[in-house]
Amino acid sequence: MTNALRQELAPKGIHVAGLHVGYMDTDMASGVTAPKSDPAVIAEVALDGLAADTAEILADEVSRNVKRNLSAPVVA
C-alpha cells in the first residue's frame, strides 16, 4: 500500500515514506516485556529519513533484522 501511495502521490510532489519500527516504549506497549525503543529516538530517525527523502525508514534493529531476513533463503 505504501508503494502504491508513493507512486500515486509522487507526481503531485508528495513524499511518502514507510516507517518500520519494533516495540516503542509507549502506553500501547506497556504490557510488552521485550526490549523497546525510545520514541524520541525513533522520531529523530524518522525526521532524518524524511529529510533524506528516504522511501523506507528502518528505525531500529528489530526492523533492520526483519528486512534482512525477508531477503534470506527459506532455510534461514
pLDDT at 76 over 60: no
CA distances from 34 to 16, 18, 45, 50 (A): 29, 23, 21, 28
* Statement: residue 72 has pLDDT above 80: no
For the chain, the domains span: 18-70
* Mean predicted confidence (pLDDT) in 13-25: 95
Once rounded to an integer, what is the mean pLDDT over residues 31-49? 96
pTM for this one?
A: 0.80
Joined grid coordinates for residue 7: 507512486
